[in-house]
């Protein structure tokens, strides 16, 4: 199980809603189970904050510490339209030029990137050894040899008024080295539909030729799940997932507040949306929950099956394991996914019910221990019963 937290649009207002939400977010994350990485899709401060990113920096440092992550390797972030706050005189001229001729970027890109000097300083304060020369430019970073994240700045032509017709440096995007060994996922601030039409076409070319699995974004301050069709054939789509605004504001009556959790087990990442409201706290949101990101199938090699577990471990299961797993494959996957969602207390409840007769599972069971347990449960014709019980916890 690999689990990520996707947040966006940290227009933090230091008021009751934010501080109550922040504390409850930490509690919710501990209940969900271990989170392995954090994705933030832009807007780290509000225009009213000038060039200060201090509140977002302090929050992200606290969040990463609470989750016991390595900020240098486990935090992924892209800029939004609120983050290009370094002014220069010809800004409006360059924005107009790039919107009129989006495929003739040239000097305009470099000039518009200078708006993100304060953002780049903020990134380097968070991650001093940040691997990209320009954190606000198009670049890629691989998370622990498992996922290649493509960082795209969609706020180059943001003028503070126009929502659509946004721009990405597609020339640089097309030159990136995309991974053939792990899935590629695009991170951006703006929804795909809000990009310039010609830019959309260029990105579809990148998706089609480089095994891009999803487009994650923010900006609209509400949850969005739709498909990007990159080729006029069956099964030629990837999901565009837009995150809620992740910083509640009592004066904001437009936005939906919340987070998205992604859980990667087997072929898919299963998404769960958690919306937050004052007086109610976090609740599961059906608009995002049960959405999936296809990440590729487990390959069968005849006598062995490789099941990816974490960033540096593969388990080679014997042919005996293979036959048993194939017999109960769907139940096995469902059991492991559900077990990873349980809190330590819920896992102890499970052990109280089944532990004496079938053996107890560790609170932090390894993947091999879980597979062994599933095979044992299947052989004893108890797997379906266990799965049904887990879903009631």
Q: Mind listing the pLDDT tens digit for each residue in 57-82?
A: 999 999 999 999 999 999 999 999 99
d(C-alpha 66, C-alpha 30), whole Å: 9
E strand or H helix at 326:
helix 319-327
The pLDDT score that the predictor gives to residue 329 is 59
Does residue 27 contact residue 59 with C-beta atoms inside 8 Å?
Answer: no
Does residue 102 contact residue 199 with C-beta atoms inside 8 Å?
Answer: yes
Q: Where exactly are the structural domains of the chain?
A: 2-294, 305-392
pLDDT above 80 for 320: no
Q: Convert the pLDDT of each residue in 27-62 to its tens digit.
A: 999 999 999 999 999 999 876 777 789 999 999 999
- Whole-number Cα distances in Å, 34 to 68, 248, 289, 363: 9, 24, 19, 12
Q: Convert the pLDDT of each residue in 139-189 to its tens digit.
A: 999 999 999 999 999 999 987 777 889 999 999 999 998 988 899 999 999
The pLDDT score that the predictor gives to residue 42 is 95
Q: Residue 131 class from Cβ within 10 Å (0-12 exposed, 13-18 middle, 19+ buried)?
A: exposed
Residue 366: pLDDT band with limits 50, 70, 90: confident
The pLDDT score that the predictor gives to residue 3 is 98
> What long-range pairs does 266-271 form, CB within 8 A, spacing at least 24?
266/298, 266/333, 267/294, 267/295, 267/296, 267/297, 267/298, 268/292, 268/293, 268/294, 268/295, 269/214, 269/293, 269/295, 270/337, 271/225, 271/241
How much is the mean pLDDT over the chain?
Answer: 87
Domain 2-294 CATH class label? alpha beta
């Amino acid at each position: 199980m690999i689990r990520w937290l996707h947040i966006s649009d940290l227009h933090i207002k230091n008021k009751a809603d934010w501080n109550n939400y922040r504390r409850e977010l930490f509690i919710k994350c501990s209940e969900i189970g271990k989170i392995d990485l954090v994705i933030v899709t832009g807007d780290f401060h509000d225009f009213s904050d000038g060039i200060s990113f201090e509140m977002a920096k302090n929050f992200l440092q606290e969040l990463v510490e609470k989750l016991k992550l390595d900020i240098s390797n486990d935090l992924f972030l892209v800029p939004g339209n609120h983050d290009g706050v370094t002014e220069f005189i010809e800004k409006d001229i360059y924005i107009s030029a790039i919107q009129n001729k989006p495929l003739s970027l040239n000097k305009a890109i470099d000039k518009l990137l200078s708006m993100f000097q304060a953002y780049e300083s903020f990134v380097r304060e968070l991650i001093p050894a940040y691997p990209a020369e320009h954190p606000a430019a198009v670049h890629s970073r691989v998370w622990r040899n498992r996922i290649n994240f493509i960082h795209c700045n969609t706020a180059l032509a943001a003028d503070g008024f126009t929502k659509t017709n946004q721009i990405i440096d597609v020339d640089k995007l097309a030159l990136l080295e995309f991974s053939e060994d792990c899935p590629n996922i695009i991170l951006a601030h703006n929804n795909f539909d809000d990009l310039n039409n010609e830019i959309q076409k260029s990105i579809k070319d990148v998706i089609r030729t480089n095994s891009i699995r999803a487009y994650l974004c923010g900006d609209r301050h509400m949850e969005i799940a739709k498909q990007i069709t990159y080729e006029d054939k069956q099964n030629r789509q990837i999901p565009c997932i837009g995150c809620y605004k992740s910083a509640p504001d009592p004066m904001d009556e437009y936005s939906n507040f919340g987070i998205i959790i992604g859980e990667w087990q087997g072929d898919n990442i299963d998404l769960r949306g958690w919306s937050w409201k004052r007086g109610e706290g976090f609740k599961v949101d059906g608009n995002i929950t049960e959405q999936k990101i296809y990440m590729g199938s487990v390959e069968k090699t005849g006598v062995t099956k490789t099941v990816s577990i974490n960033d540096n471990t593969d388990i080679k299961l014997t042919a005996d394991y293979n036959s048993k797993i194939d017999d109960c494959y769907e139940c096995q996957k469902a059991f492991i996914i559900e077990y990873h969602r349980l809190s330590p207390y819920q896992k102890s409840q499970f052990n109280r019910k089944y532990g004496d007769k079938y053996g107890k599972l560790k609170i932090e069971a390894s993947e091999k221990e879980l597979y062994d347990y599933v095979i044992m449960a299947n052989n004893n014709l108890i797997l379906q019963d266990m799965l049904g019980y887990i879903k009631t916890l």
